[in-house]
Amino acid sequence: MPLPRFAHLLIAAAALAILVLGTGTVRAQEAPDSPSPAATSTPPPIPSPVPSAEDPKIHKLALQQFVAWQQGQIDRTYYTSEVSSELTDDVITTASRTLSNLGALQSAVFRGISHAPQGDLYVYHMTCDRGAVDMDFSLDPKGKILRIYFN
């Protein structure tokens, strides 16, 4: 059974947290001899983006959404109902903390469109004061966000 789309966002947010915050060999909550957590399936890697002309409306949406995620102020009307229903307060808070640790957004560079198996994704490289992250997202035919990943 494939993972729901939002599970991919959670996995990407967790990967971002590890990338930004680093990892230790033992977590404070775990004893050194505790068993390893069960393996989880991960989404397939996102193919490299293909350069293409940037749409100013998509650029504006990317900036707006990145800052909204950093601030933890997600406007659910920008998302499909399926994704919106999966955006719990905990998910938003965790992602917001992680992205806000990068600092203020300095630039957003459109890298192109990734033709992934799950659909085309707009790929932006977001550079902040203290780090950078790729933000990949796709839109449904009505212009609502269907998927969003932070890598």
The pTM (predicted TM-score) of the whole model is 0.73
In a domain, 39, yes or no: no
Domain tally for the chain?
Answer: 1
Q: Which of 115, 101, 117, 82 is nearest to 150 (CA)?
A: 101
Distances (CA, A) of 120 to 46, 70, 123: 10, 24, 9
In a domain, 80, yes or no: yes
In a domain, 79, yes or no: yes
pLDDT tens-digit profile, the chain (151 residues): 343 444 444 444 444 433 333 333 333 333 444 444 444 456 668 889 999 999 999 999 999 999 999 999 999 999 999 999 999 999 999 999 999 999 999 999 999 999 988 889 999 999 999 999 999 999 999 999 999 999 8
In a domain, 133, yes or no: yes
Which CATH number fits the domain that encloses residue 126?
Answer: 3.10.450.590
Give phi and psi for 128, each to the nearest 5.
-120, 180
Q: Which residue has the tokens 């600092």?
A: 103
